[in-house]
Structure 1
């Protein structure tokens, strides 16, 4: 046996030993109890496993149900017929078909921004954040990069790469005092966070905008969970609260959730064309021969047209009614928020068993545990959608209360009651 040197990791920016060592036990337990690795077919809004168990999915991010909208499906098919190719496999910096530019132009007009597309929000963050760290997306000066402690893994995983270009620190969740102190200390500061996070909360966008105006703070938001579901024409929470008109804000958002299609959009303002070319040429996976395929482009164009119609505010209103109906029956820390995610707190020891009982009753909600959430803050994550029926929501709430959820106060009534 080789008795050579062993390596002691620094764990300065990530710790797989901790994440896998603790989190994998929860995943194993979830799989053993039938709450992970589920295979099921969708039939008129209800899922059915091969064993015949039917359930309603309350853990799906398609908040407006646009992923199954007939116009979105037809848009994907029509684009394939129109362009005659599924995946034009060459970097767009060399050759591209007009489809991608057509989508970016449409999204740019819809969201009032310069839009660069990517195959996913993760790919966008992996490509953009290191360029921000080196000053190539910016004015050339390397900034201090502050990552929010709770920012999504798609952003957090870039810390080591960014730290090879500039100084990287992590702050407590939306610690405005820390951010302001660093703005006074450093000439350039970027703050990296979720505009809308996967556990049911919004960033303090107005307060951050004040710091941007006062100190020139720059903010990188992932606003994936609110795009389409929130704001006029679905611009999302960040751009509804503080519409960007300069280069101090970058918003990345997936098109896979409420937008109902595939890929991601990077929303930029005030950046010169040369910066867009740098992104196109050097932003990691955004630069490779894997742009959005033609079907995704066609679906995106169709969804964008729905966003321009009166159907979008009607869907947004219906979603808010479903959220309010849930809040009328189950109390959570998110009650009263417009956000479509609710976290029903459970002890680590019972969260998987509670999720199993809910699943057996015909509903799927995600048990969340470390490292998805901090240790000791496990729960069942519930996601509302515009297409869920009132009966389904009421029945789910009854089951959740049976497994330990806190009932809503008697003073809180159903919308319209």
Structure 2
């Protein structure tokens, strides 16, 4: 007798009811207009402290002009995949500029970091006994890429080099990759890349670094976590650099030696079977890279703002996490607390995201404050004061509710 299949609509409704009961429904916010760090959201102008536009390049005049000029000349799209007729001279120029900046022989352009991470693992870890060993707090795209590649996934405790070594030692004898974020997107801390490179070398594993949140921000001239650790292509044979964070645009590049990048270009399905990014988008990214390389004042401004934020937060007794990057999480614990604080901040004119499980571990809900070179010191000080006031207000409300319950 054939069993009835589950109805997908029923399953969807049941899952939504569960998320609703847990207070974990996700809602998109409509941005109507954008002016620097100011956003108009649902008719209210807010100071934005949750974007990844760390260097303030997304609306920079030269970057926008490059986009407009290239679109006027080349059109709105690439019209085909890179291997058909979609690879434009602007794509090539961007790849060369990124490779030169980060000190790698070659770069390969992708439409997103998610696609790039999938491409790397599918192209390199194709056998059943192959393994990818990852930090437990790696970005979802790295973890999902391993599952989709069909190889084995092994995870080690956050920043635990010895844990990574143990996982590689006990892995099957297939090909091995050790993958880590450079800067961790929800914590703002940096992977111990020098130690991990030694582990990878000892265990004959390829070290792959997704430096989405480090490129443009960390190290001399913003060359990222790999260069800042004194490492290069011999230590980190592949790394990912996003164009959608500090560079203010969209897309990503994977950097490596000639043979590795050529292999990806010839075999990686997310590269072969998708339309190339618009040439105009590549032109904008190219302009942004040149500014990021040149404008050290943007990183100096960020360093100043990070110091102002952390000093103020400590003075107010806010629970900081250890981060020297523009990602400054404040632990709030309970999801009800972080949601209440985020709502109070919005009422005060600040947009700060509440980050909840499953994005972060249970009991580790937080406000994820991100800083931009476009912020003024006075805005950062005002934010810290508003966070402290929001905390006190929410705590008082929760205490009152407990008394009246």
Band the TM-score falls in, shorter-chain normalisation: 0.7 to 0.9
Aligned to 1:356: 343
* Other structure's SS at 1:388 match: coil
Q: Deviations over 1:40-70 (max 9, x none)?
A: 311353222353x221000010001011111
Aligned to 2:10: none
Aligned CA distance change for structure 1 residues 69 and 90 (closer, same or farther; 3 Å): same
1:43 aligns with 2:35: yes
* Other structure's SS at 1:224 match: coil
* Other structure's SS at 1:403 match: helix
| TM-aligned CA deviation for residue 278 of structure 1 | 3.2
1:94 aligns with 2:91: no
1:154 aligns with 2:141: yes
Which of 253, 274, 285 aligns to 2:241? It is 253
The gaps in structure 1 that reach 5 residues or longer are 8-16, 136-140, 406-417
- Aligned partners of 1:175 and 1:45: how far apart in 2? 36
Q: Would you say the 8 A contact 2:345–2:352 is kept in 1?
A: yes
Aligned to 1:26: 23
Aligned CA distance change for structure 1 residues 335 and 156 (closer, same or farther; 3 Å): closer
* Other structure's SS at 2:194 match: helix
| TM-aligned CA deviation for residue 196 of structure 1 | 0.7
- Aligned partners of 1:81 and 1:391: how far apart in 2? 39
* Other structure's SS at 1:238 match: helix
Comparing 18-27 with 126-135, greater Cα deviation is found at 18-27
Aligned CA distance change for structure 1 residues 284 and 184 (closer, same or farther; 3 Å): same
The gaps in structure 2 that reach 5 residues or longer are 8-13, 393-405
Which of 115, 128, 133 aligns to 2:125? It is 133
Q: Would you say the 8 A contact 2:155–2:164 is kept in 1?
A: no
Aligned CA distance change for structure 1 residues 179 and 45 (closer, same or farther; 3 Å): closer
Q: Scaled by the length of structure 2, what TM-score is found?
A: 0.85
| TM-aligned CA deviation for residue 336 of structure 1 | 6.6
Q: Would you say the 8 A contact 1:189–1:218 is kept in 2?
A: yes
Q: Scaled by the length of structure 1, what TM-score is found?
A: 0.83
Q: Would you say the 8 A contact 1:323–1:340 is kept in 2?
A: yes
Aligned to 2:388: 401
Q: Deviations over 1:346-385 (max 9, x none)?
A: 1222211110000000001100000110011101110011
Q: Would you say the 8 A contact 1:216–1:248 is kept in 2?
A: no
1:121 aligns with 2:113: yes
- Aligned partners of 2:33 and 2:308: how far apart in 1? 27
Q: C-alpha root-mean-square deviation of aligned residues, in Å?
A: 2.7
Q: Would you say the 8 A contact 2:321–2:331 is kept in 1?
A: no
* Other structure's SS at 2:364 match: coil
Aligned to 2:355: 368
Paired residue total: 377
Aligned to 1:236: 224
Which structure has greater helix proportion?
2
Aligned CA distance change for structure 1 residues 23 and 73 (closer, same or farther; 3 Å): farther
| TM-aligned CA deviation for residue 231 of structure 1 | 1.8
| TM-aligned CA deviation for residue 153 of structure 1 | 0.9
Q: Would you say the 8 A contact 1:57–1:364 is kept in 2?
A: yes
**Which runs of at least 4 in structure 1 moved beyond 6 Å after TM superposition?**
17-20
- Aligned partners of 1:49 and 1:40: how far apart in 2? 6
* Other structure's SS at 2:79 match: coil
Aligned CA distance change for structure 1 residues 196 and 24 (closer, same or farther; 3 Å): farther
Q: Would you say the 8 A contact 2:155–2:167 is kept in 1?
A: no
- Aligned partners of 1:248 and 1:367: how far apart in 2? 34
1:66 aligns with 2:52: no
